[in-house]
Amino acid sequence: MLVYLNEKGEQSPPHIVGVHNSYEVADCCGIDEKTDQANGRLITAAPELLKACEAAIAALSEDAPGCMPTEANRMAVKLCHAARDKACEL
């Protein structure tokens, strides 16, 4: 991540840039540096998190080969569906 500084070399407000494959994917600023860095990392990781949700849905669904239809698996699939749907909203 990069930290943008103003012309005086100060972070005012802090700007945290999330970078993925050398492309800027997030510019977070305003709350505080720690939160901005966490938000930048989260946004940068979003494609991998979406893939993880899709993999969990496939592996834990009741019709998946060898998957036990437990309440924990059903809850995990429900949470992954909700996260995936939120990420894919237009």
pTM: 0.65
Distance CA 65, CA 34 (A): 43
What parts of the chain have a pLDDT lower than 50? 1, 12, 14
Q: What is the largest CA-CA distance in the chain?
A: 60
Question: Residue 76: what pLDDT?
Answer: 93
27 three-class SS: strand
Question: Residue 77: what pLDDT?
Answer: 93
Q: Are 39 and 1 in contact (CB under 8 A)?
A: no
Name the packing angle between helices 71-87 and 33-60 (round to 10°): 120
Question: Residue 5: what pLDDT?
Answer: 54
